[in-house]
Amino acid sequence: MTTTADTLVTTDWLAAHLDDSHVKILDASFKMPGVLPLPKDDYLAAHIPGAVFFDVDAVSDHSNPLPHMFPNAEQFGRDVGALGIGNDDTVVVYDAGGWVAGPRAWWMFLAYGHDKVRVLDGGLKKWRAEGRPVESGAVTPRRATFKANFDARRVRTMQQMVANLESQAEQVVDARASERFEGRVQEPRPGLRSGHIPRSRNLPYNNLFDAATGTMKPLSELRAAFSAAGVKLDAPVVTSCGSGVSAAVLTLALYRLGVENPALYDGSWSEWGLSEGPPVATGPA
């Protein structure tokens, strides 16, 4: 199979590989709690032919009260194998087109040792805008064997983030909207404080893609966006957001810009923002 060196694949590329048995397609669409219809219902109504639904909340650590935290390697391998994905497969992940969870699923695969994973540039939005085929109903895959090996370098815990307050060894960049980052509005998840991790930078994730086409912006514009946010691309970076989902959009952009081993704070503001959590800063970065 011919693959691509880029982290992204185009709709043309995917259309040409729909019948490739070693290309597995995942719909990883996600919405905030309480937003209807549910992502799974959207998937059942219309998805790219052959795509299986990747539920970010289901493929998670169910013993942790925080939302969709990384599971252990054994569970990830079991859950992904149930989706019909084996270690030799190339995985193409997409979401509804708002860059909300496709990159999160992509980063999870990388974190569990699977580098044959790509994100569909523009997602379902671009696919449908081009008049390409969709299908409805569930896809029932044949179970496969997937051996996962967790790479802890790709994920940060709150303990590591607290230690970083002192050392400042890693830059922290927050993907939330500026009004949330600055603490000017209440958080959508009840019970969380408003504000941001002290000394972190703010780059709202939607600044990195073209709203009209749904495609990620050119590398030159991505580089300029990080520079404008005060992020140095030649120094270590950790991304954060509300619950570790949209932060992966920044991680994807950093990865495409050649930043070595960017990491993601899995608990993000759902953990840091708890009432008994670490110090909080407000206002602009």
Q: Which residues contact 198 (CB under 8 A, 6 or more apart)?
A: 165, 279, 280, 281
Residues serving a catalytic function are 241
Helix (H) or strand (E) holding 109: helix 102-111
Distance between CA atoms of residues 3 and 172, nearest Å: 33
Indicate the DSSP class of residue 112.
T
How much is the pLDDT for 6? Answer: 84
Distance between CA atoms of residues 33 and 64, nearest Å: 17
SS3 52: strand
**Quick check: 102 pLDDT over 80?**
yes
Which tokens in the block code for residue 142? 């044949």
pLDDT per residue over 175-202, tens digit each?
999 999 999 999 999 999 999 999 999 9
**Quick check: 7 pLDDT over 80?**
yes
| pLDDT band, residue 3 (cuts 50/70/90) | very low
Asked whether the beta carbons of 202 and 173 are under 8 A apart, the reply is yes
Distance between CA atoms of residues 149 and 24, nearest Å: 20
pLDDT per residue over 247-266, tens digit each?
999 999 999 999 988 999 99
**Quick check: 114 pLDDT over 60?**
yes
Omega cis (within 30) before 39: no
